[in-house]
Amino acid sequence: MTRRTAFLIFFFGTLSSAVIFLLLTIDFHRKKDIYTDTSALTEQVVAGKNVWKKYNCNDCHTMLGFGGYYAPDMTKAFFRLGENNIIAIVMHPEEVYKNSFRKMPNLGVTEKEARDLVAFFKWTGNIENRQWPPQDEKYVAAYRMRESAAQVLTKTDIVLGACGGCHAFENQGRDVAGDFNDIAKETTYDRDTLVKLMLDPDSVDPDLGMPAQNVSRETAELIADFILSLK
């Protein structure tokens, strides 16, 4: 290769990459409103983003691929966990994760900040990012459909969609609070008590460390039947 060919490869290579990069950037800015759901960008969402920054949550967590790989990705956390669970985890990780070997520190987040974070997670969860991260798509579908079209979902989808942020079943979901097969074998609760445990855990066992679940009574009954069927 002569000096001149090397220069031409360098020159046109750089030029064509720069043109492609510029075109993609312009294309993204034209479609930004669609992809990022800017119409839902409220002040509370922005406040939540600032809480995320204030406590450096992404030292350990990733969001849209950025951040530390120590703790779960937060892009679709809203659908994986729902509002109450997120607030409880963020404010009292030492209670919710008392049995987990990994540790999230209690950072002293206030309730208002936790609610702002929920708004932020709800917004990021709705960004059109071509179903990424793929492992969360099942939770997103189950969350969206469990109250409106539960009949098209399997029982396992509903159970994991509602409880899979902390419980496991047949190697799916996160096992930080017990596998439903083990829970079913050990539990002495009847159907009504299980339903109560989901909707108002403190009235059944105030030391459990499980937050009240954002599920309707109908969904809670369906899940209670499922747990009891595993006995």
- List residues near ligand HEC by CB under 6 A: 55, 57, 59-61, 70-72, 77, 80-81, 85-86, 88-90, 96-97, 99-100, 102-105, 107, 109, 117, 162-163, 165-167, 174, 176-178, 183, 187, 194, 197-198, 205, 208-211, 213, 215, 223
| Nearest-approach distance from CB 113 to ligand HEC, in angstroms | 8
Cβ(200)–Cβ(212) under 8 Å?
A: yes
Q: Which of 119, 127, 114, 96 is nearest to 57 (CA)?
A: 114
Looking at beta carbons only, is 36 or 82 nearer to ligand HEC? 82
Q: Token pair of 134, please? A: 């793929």
| Nearest-approach distance from CB 121 to ligand HEC, in angstroms | 7
Q: Token pair of 135, please? A: 């492992």
Looking at beta carbons only, is 45 or 57 nearer to ligand HEC? 57
| Nearest-approach distance from CB 81 to ligand HEC, in angstroms | 6
Looking at beta carbons only, is 33 or 225 nearer to ligand HEC? 225
Looking at beta carbons only, is 119 or 166 nearer to ligand HEC? 166
| Distance set, CA 20 to CA 16, 33, 75, 195, 205 (Å) | 6, 21, 28, 56, 60
Could you identify the residue written with the tokens 């009949």? 151
| Nearest-approach distance from CB 68 to ligand HEC, in angstroms | 7
Q: Which of 118, 114, 113, 93 is nearest to 104 (CA)?
A: 93
- Residues listed for the chain: 231
Looking at beta carbons only, is 36 or 97 nearer to ligand HEC? 97
| Nearest-approach distance from CB 117 to ligand HEC, in angstroms | 5
Q: Token pair of 168, please? A: 């496991």
Looking at beta carbons only, is 32 or 54 nearer to ligand HEC? 54
Looking at beta carbons only, is 60 or 127 nearer to ligand HEC? 60
Virtual torsion, Cα 160, 223, 212, 40, nearest 10 deg: 50
Report the alpha-carbon distance of residue 117 to residue 106 in Å, rounded: 15
- Cis peptide leading into 133, omega within 30 of 0? yes
| Nearest-approach distance from CB 66 to ligand HEC, in angstroms | 14
| Nearest-approach distance from CB 36 to ligand HEC, in angstroms | 20
